[in-house]
């Protein structure tokens, strides 16, 4: 049976109100009878005649009004469809199987498809995948590149939810002979294409016109001048000025010399890409300046990029130059928001002969200790001999000042245990000289001094929690800085040229206090740290390294005693030998090996580092990498002699270190996946020219 059409909603109310007006007339007529009966009868007759007349008119004109409403709706729908078809914004309807159901003329013109094209939208735009269309999100926007134009595709769902419809009912929408049958729980997907080519071009032009600030420092200005005759010094400075000025002037830069060894540079952002492609060749160009100087001139450049204001740009460039100098100089650091990019840094840091900085830092540390009652010292997790020896040196300095001092030490490795046993209660040291992280968190106060040694990265420390609790933080380290550094340190002494943190601490102790006297076992600990980090004084040693060792020898350090304390057990020695025996030579210059996970080896990471040192003794090996699986992490120890900068390689893998001693830690991967990652990194750096075999 065909369902009879009837008016609904506001239209029904509008058509019915003349009839409904009869009701208030009758209600008003009731009190009229008590006043005047004849008047009441007349009003009743009028109400009856009015109701019959309005009902007749409603019945007579109902079908005509309905027809006119339908004709208007049809014409309105036709106009609406025509407007949508002629809509300037490309528009298409897509079925749930990702096939195109309908498209307007603008969409057909852009895609160069016929309007009867009903294949998958992915065949036109691969970025609009079926997985994207199936996501139950209100609206999604993706970027599409099509025939040299850039579009923002807006994808949204159109649900069919017809009031009063049954599950089996079908709603048909016919357009140009194409019918879509949908129930109320089904939907179509609409796709709009917004041409943003010009918008992106203007945004790019605006970005390219933004100014970028940079600071250029000469790393070794004083040292380079001292290595040349006095009459030639002005010539050397003039040549450096000319090289720097010419390099930046060619790129429409404004350069201003701030001091004798500092420059301020401003240029448009569009030239930054050119400098990056050039890999800042000015770093190598200034090294070629030779007018009799024995030492090559090196530069450090800090570039600050920001979308906010000029003060922020300058602040970023200042932070970038500090990071470049903290990493050893001879490199470029670009800071763009939170992103930091490095260039250069391939040469060894030149050792500074002056000890003025060590004396200044020693006096600053003494003043800091004098105003505090409690000192906490900690190194990096899985502490090695350098961190332990440096911590002992700082502990001795605190003891001389009469301060309560504690060394935070969680895990004692087999190589560290013999040295730690020299500091027991029986030998005159307090019970809580060494404490664990849990105890340190309980004891530390906001007024305490926290000294971090042998690391400048907060996540690498024994207890990162107490970094947040302490307001007075001191950092002593010899590793190159990365973007992740300990912030808000009141005193920071980071020297990348130093062989070890123990060397820095030994120098500092000589200026800390005249009354400081190290005991033999304390001197042994600091000496052992230097010995391990320099591989028995074979790598990264300078004049100051031997002077620090001589000072410790005068304090009672005994070479033979230290050597006995540093001996390995048989299991560790065999693990190291196995790593060397199974080493694989990659690209004819890189030795890669895996240190076996022997449960009898208490400190496999140390065995891996020792194996990496051993592999450098093989002819033709320029760099070595040894992987060790320990505590659900993959530890990578990398070493080189002088030709390869392993620190750059390890930085790409999330680690860091020095030019010839570096490392990294990887999570959520196997040793073989880590090995493959090292090989891929080497391949990439060789291809980009960052490594030369």
Q: Judge whether 295 lies within some domain.
A: yes
The first and second tokens of residue 385, run together, are 């001999």
Residues 26 and 105 in one domain: no
Pick the range with the lowest mean pLDDT from 159-173, 252-266, 507-521.
159-173
Q: What is the CA radius of gyration of the chain?
A: 40
Question: pLDDT at position 636, please?
Answer: 93
CA dist., res. 104 & res. 108, Å (int): 6
494-510 per-position pLDDT tens digit = 887 788 999 999 999 99
Calculate mean pLDDT across residues 517-533. Answer: 92
CA dist., res. 482 & res. 326, Å (int): 9
The band of 15, judged by pLDDT with boundaries at 50, 70 and 90, is low
Residues 437 and 522 in one domain: yes
- For 278, residues 6+ apart whose C-beta sits below 8 A from its C-beta are none
Question: pLDDT at position 522, please?
Answer: 93
Pick the range with the lowest mean pLDDT from 9-18, 214-223, 445-454.
9-18
Question: pLDDT at position 167, please?
Answer: 35
172 against 344, higher pLDDT: 344
Residues 79 and 168 in one domain: no
Question: pLDDT at position 185, please?
Answer: 54
Q: Which of 50, 85, 120 is the last residue of a domain?
A: 85
User: For the chain, how far is it from start to end, CA to CA, in angstroms?
Assistant: 89
Q: Judge whether 350 lies within some domain.
A: no
The CATH code of the domain that includes 102 is 3.30.450.20
Residues 442 and 584 in one domain: no
pLDDT of 126 > 80? The answer is yes
pLDDT of 330 > 80? The answer is yes
CA dist., res. 688 & res. 675, Å (int): 20
Question: pLDDT at position 7, please?
Answer: 59
Residues 361 and 387 in one domain: yes
Number of structural domains in the chain: 5
pLDDT of 163 > 60? The answer is no
Residues 491 and 596 in one domain: no
Residues 323 and 419 in one domain: no
Q: Which of 565, 598, 615 is the last residue of a domain?
A: 565
Handedness of CA 494, 496, 500, 504 (dihedral sign): negative
| Percent of the chain whose pLDDT exceeds 90 | 24
CB 406 within 8 A of CB 398: no
Question: Which residue has 């004709």 as its token pair?
Answer: 71
Q: Judge whether 351 lies within some domain.
A: no
The CATH code of the domain that includes 369 is 3.90.1640.10
Question: pLDDT at position 306, please?
Answer: 84
Query: 156, 173, 158, 92: which is closest to 125 by C-alpha?
Result: 92
CB 100 within 8 A of CB 117: yes
Structural domain containing residue 542: 356-565
Q: Judge whether 349 lies within some domain.
A: no
Show the CA angle centred on residue 21, arms to residues 20 and 25, nearest 5°.
125
The first and second tokens of residue 287, run together, are 């090294």
Residues 336 and 462 in one domain: no
The band of 354, judged by pLDDT with boundaries at 50, 70 and 90, is low
CA distances from 500 to 434, 540, 548 (A): 22, 9, 11
Query: 538, 634, 618: which is closest to 580 by C-alpha?
Result: 618
For 556-609, the DSSP string reads T--HHHHHHHTPPPHHHHHHHHHHHHT-EEETTTEEEEEE---TT-S-HHHHHH
Q: Judge whether 362 lies within some domain.
A: yes
Calculate mean pLDDT across residues 443-461. Answer: 89
Residues 499 and 600 in one domain: no
Calculate mean pLDDT across residues 160-189. Answer: 46
pLDDT of 617 > 60? The answer is yes
Question: pLDDT at position 553, please?
Answer: 92
Residues 50 and 131 in one domain: no
Question: pLDDT at position 172, please?
Answer: 39
Residues 372 and 507 in one domain: yes
Question: pLDDT at position 451, please?
Answer: 94
Question: pLDDT at position 470, please?
Answer: 87
Pick the range with the lowest mean pLDDT from 155-169, 405-419, 440-454.
155-169
For 69-96, the DSSP string reads HHHHHHHHHHHHHHHHHT-SS-EEEE-T
Query: 374, 411, 410, 379: which is closest to 392 by C-alpha?
Result: 379
The CATH code of the domain that includes 644 is 3.10.310.30
The band of 523, judged by pLDDT with boundaries at 50, 70 and 90, is very high
Mean per-residue pLDDT over the chain, rounded: 83
345 against 399, higher pLDDT: 399
Calculate mean pLDDT across residues 619-637. Answer: 91
Question: pLDDT at position 337, please?
Answer: 81
Q: Which of 201, 224, 248 is the last residue of a domain?
A: 201
pLDDT of 469 > 80? The answer is yes
Q: Of how many residues is the chain composed? A: 693
Calculate mean pLDDT across residues 373-378. Answer: 92
CB 106 within 8 A of CB 90: yes
Residues 79 and 122 in one domain: no
| Percent of the chain whose pLDDT exceeds 70 | 90
Q: Judge whether 675 lies within some domain.
A: yes
Q: Judge whether 259 lies within some domain.
A: yes
């Amino acid at each position: 049976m065909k369902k009879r059409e009837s008016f609904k909603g506001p239209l029904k109310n509008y058509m019915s109100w003349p009839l409904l007006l009869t009701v208030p007339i009758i209600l008003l007529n009731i009190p009229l009878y008590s006043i005047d009966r004849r008047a009441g009868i007349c009003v009743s007759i009028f109400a009856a005649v009015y109701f019959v007349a309005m009902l007749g008119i409603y019945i007579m004109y109902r079908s005509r009004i309905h027809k006119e409403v339908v004709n208007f709706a049809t014409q309105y729908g036709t106009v609406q469809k025509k407007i949508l078809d002629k809509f300037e914004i490309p528009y298409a309807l897509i079925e749930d199987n990702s096939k195109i159901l309908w498209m307007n003329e603008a969409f057909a013109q852009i895609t160069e498809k016929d309007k009867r094209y009903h294949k998958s939208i992915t065949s036109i735009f691969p970025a609009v995948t079926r997985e994207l269309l199936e996501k139950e999100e209100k609206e999604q926007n993706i970027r599409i590149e099509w025939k040299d134009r850039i579009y923002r595709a807006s994808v949204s769902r159109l649900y069919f939810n017809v009031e009063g419809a049954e599950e089996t009912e079908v709603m048909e929408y016919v357009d140009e002979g194409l019918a879509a049958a949908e129930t109320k729980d089904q939907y179509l997907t609409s796709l709009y294409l917004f041409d943003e080519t010009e918008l992106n071009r203007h945004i790019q032009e605006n970005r390219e016109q933004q100014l970028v600030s940079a600071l250029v420092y000469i790393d070794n200005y004083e040292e380079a001048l001292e290595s040349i005759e006095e009459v030639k010094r002005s010539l050397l400075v003039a040549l450096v000025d000319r090289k720097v000025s010419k390099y930046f002037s060619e790129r429409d830069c404004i350069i201003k010399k701030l001091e004798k060894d500092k420059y301020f540079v401003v240029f448009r952002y569009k030239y930054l890409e050119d400098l990056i492609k050039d890999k800042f060749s000015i770093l190598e160009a200034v090294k070629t300046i030779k007018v009799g100087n024995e030492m090559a001139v090196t530069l450090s450049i800090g570039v600050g990029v920001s979308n906010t204001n000029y003060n922020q740009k300058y602040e970023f460039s200042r932070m970038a130059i500090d990071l470049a100098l903290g990493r050893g100089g001879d490199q470029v650091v670009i800071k763009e928001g939170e992103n930091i990019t490095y260039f250069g840094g391939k040469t060894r840091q030149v050792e500074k002969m002056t000890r003025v900085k060590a004396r200044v830092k020693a006096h600053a540390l003494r003043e800091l200790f004098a105003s505090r009652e409690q000192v906490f010292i900690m190194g990096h997790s899985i502490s090695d001999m350098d961190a332990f020896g440096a911590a002992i040196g700082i502990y001795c300095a605190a003891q001389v000042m009469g301060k309560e001092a504690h060394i935070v030490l969680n895990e004692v490795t087999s190589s560290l245990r013999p040295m730690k046993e020299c500091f027991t209660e029986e030998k005159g040291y307090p019970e809580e000289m060494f404490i664990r992280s849990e105890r340190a968190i309980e004891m530390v106060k906001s007024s305490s001094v926290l000294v971090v040694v042998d690391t400048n990265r907060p996540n690498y420390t024994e207890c990162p929690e107490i970094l947040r609790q302490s307001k007075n933080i001191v950092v002593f380290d010899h590793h190159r800085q990365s973007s992740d550094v300990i912030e808000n340190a009141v005193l920071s002494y980071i020297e990348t040229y130093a062989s070890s943190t123990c060397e820095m601490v030994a120098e500092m102790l000589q200026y800390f206090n005249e009354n400081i006297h190290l005991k033999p076992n304390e001197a042994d600990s600091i000496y052992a740290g230097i010995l391990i980090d320099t591989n028995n004084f074979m790598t990264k040693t300078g004049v100051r390294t031997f002077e620090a060792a001589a000072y410790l020898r005068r304090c009672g350090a005994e070479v033979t005693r230290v050597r006995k304390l540093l001996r390995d057990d048989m299991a560790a020695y065999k693990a190291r030998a196995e790593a060397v025996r199974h080493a694989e030579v990659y690209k004819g210059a890189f030795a890669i090996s895996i240190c076996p996970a022997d449960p009898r080896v208490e400190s496999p990471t140390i065995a891996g580092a020792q194996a990496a040192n051993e592999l450098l003794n093989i002819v033709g090996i320029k760099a070595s990498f040894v992987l060790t699986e320990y505590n659900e992490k993959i530890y990578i120890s990398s070493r080189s002699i002088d030709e390869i900068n392993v620190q750059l390689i390890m930085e790409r893998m999330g680690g860091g270190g020095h030019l010839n001693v570096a490392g990294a830690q990887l999570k959520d991967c196997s040793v073989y996946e880590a090995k493959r990652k090292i090989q891929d990194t080497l391949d990439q750096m060789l291809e980009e020219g960052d490594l030369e075999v």
